[in-house]
Amino acid sequence: AQWLIRSIDQRNKTIVRVVESIVQTQEPFFEHGIQYLKPMVLRDVAEDVSMHESTISRVTSNKYLHCAQGIFELKFFFNTSIPRSQEGLTELSSVAVREMIRKMVEEEDSNRPLKDQEIVARLKAQNVVLARRTVAKYRMELNISSASRRKRVC
């Protein structure tokens, strides 16, 4: 029975350490919103808490974090980075870039919706370099139809 209690206590301490690392790294997200989500991979947290990546993966599976921004699965905070075209600019998370695409489509002229190549050009103007195919992939992940399907028929 003592072994079980110690195991549960150790598990709880591990979860707390991992969540603290995530919260510390993603502080701008918690203060300002999704567009400030930083790129972060399992390895980053594993190094921070001196554990193996597989341990971090297991600890974050099916666990959720409730904050002012909403309820998020811990896995949500792990995302790839999108390099910036200009030297010295910080990398963006793939989640932040998806949010940029979502906002562009949300604010577009419904009579002339943005094509993927136009979204690529607008992102490039913000020093975000993505291939058109990547924009199409992100758009589909956001459940946004193609420009021809979004065009409002008058």
pTM (whole model) above 0.85: no
Same domain as 102, residue 62: no
Burial of 5 (0-12, 13-18, 19+ CB in 10 A): exposed
Same domain as 127, residue 91: yes
| Residue 102 belongs to domain spanning | 81-150
Same domain as 98, residue 63: no
Same domain as 95, residue 44: no
Residue closest to 101 by CA, chosen among 76, 72, 121: 121
The two structure tokens encoding residue 132:
């058109």
pLDDT digits (tens, 9 = 90+) for 54-97: 999 999 999 999 999 899 999 999 998 888 877 777 888 999 99
Q: Report yes or no: 128 and 85 within 8 Å, Cβ to Cβ.
A: yes
Domain-terminating residue out of 44, 77, 110: 77
pLDDT digits (tens, 9 = 90+) for 26-41: 999 999 998 899 999 9
Same domain as 63, residue 89: no
Q: What is the mean pLDDT of the chain?
A: 92
Same domain as 91, residue 62: no
